[in-house]
Structure 1
């Protein structure tokens, strides 16, 4: 029980993985329309998400991570190429395939291991972050500093996906309809191998999955189980898993999380909460929740203003 309470306290902190659900299944557009210019971009009340979403390229600055996973930005981000020998990037219309160079390198390594260890053709990469990080218009509370990335739990097809497929294709649901376990028709040993490979990366601090997937990993993991400590349940990860990296060395303005403690998270106390009736079938709220106020530029670290207004890096 103590481990579960520690987990809840950590997850409820200001650096939670995804306070808003991640809309990995939302379809994109083959011909996305450019956002219109803001009438008053210098208005202090303008949401920061409106400003950062209009920066289409990284800043021409040395790479620097600023702030926290859910309130920050990144200077000098790298772009994940949309195609590789063992990966393809999805939902190109979102323009969220940018991150810290360490994250881009990690994803390429993971793609190679998915091909080698799991026998997958490769991985499908979901959202990493915007060109300059910062709050996004939709889908995430985190992914703001280039150290978060979503990987679809659908293996990459053997063919090169068309632009339309990348925008319209849906990921495969991995969780059984009753939410108590994974669907054995689609969740395989390959999924265990890919998540294990990600968790064994020294720079990875957390991996977020649906509780049913965590349950399956606990059941199916063989040999060294130490990597399971990094894998933690969180809402909204039925179709993909979320990788989070530690703050890279030499980035004093990056404020990450402490390392996960409390064992492998596989005890009955750890998992019981997630399969309780209150979590699986929560009662509707008595009153509609009040939408949170959008974060403004002034509420981000001051250095993010500099990142936002820096010249564009060369495309």
Structure 2
């Protein structure tokens, strides 16, 4: 039987599991980055890889957003936050621990998660285009889609316009943290998901899901290879199942206080659903296409059944 020594930030099974899953996702992301740069190096001498390599910046952007989302999730672990982050920032400025909860919700629901989802969508959309869009267009597309969401989340978290307009809302709509007592008379700040911010993210999730479903349908209408069709079905399920599940679970967390075991379990399930989406998404759209491209000639990023000609050499989509 294995024994895990007690440390300041490992005081619950869910904290340990969260740290392990975040570590695994970061390792996977670093592996994805190594694949991306390996392709960049090989494309310098292999002409047939240069067309596929034109999207390396977008794939790199996807992985970076996932890494930042993972690191942001560390803010939800109370003892890690209180032991390592709060003392450091409180020395630099007048920084209260509950501010971490607002920052976490704003960055997670307002930018990092929407950003990696929109980047996934962009990669699916351009896979059917004959001409690869400019990288600056990809960055502009992500920012134009996500920045309004971030601004709205920040507005309702930090400025609370309903409160200033004297329009009272139930506490569950605006509560982003709870202070509760722990052993030996201490107190702990636990982050929560404000229902109002969850509703705003749900609106984004609904619009995104319809767009993503349409994009997958458009790709399927062009694909004749069974292996590629299976990959698209898997990608669609990877995004369209965990995202609504995450939103439902976040909404359910308002039913319990943070010190209740059910709250911890439901919050962890919401985190896990997003992590699965991020891990499988980069596996399908980053690692697998690069591996196939290196093995089959560099044209696997195009999900259609028409052979293409690159530098006088006809390259067909690989068949499984």
TM over 0.5: no
The bucket for the TM-score relative to the shorter chain is under 0.3
Higher helix share: 2
**TM-score (normalizing by structure 1):** 0.26
Higher strand share: 1
**Higher radius of gyration, 1 or 2:** 2
Name the structure, 1 or 2, with higher relative contact order (CA <8 Å, separation 6+).
1
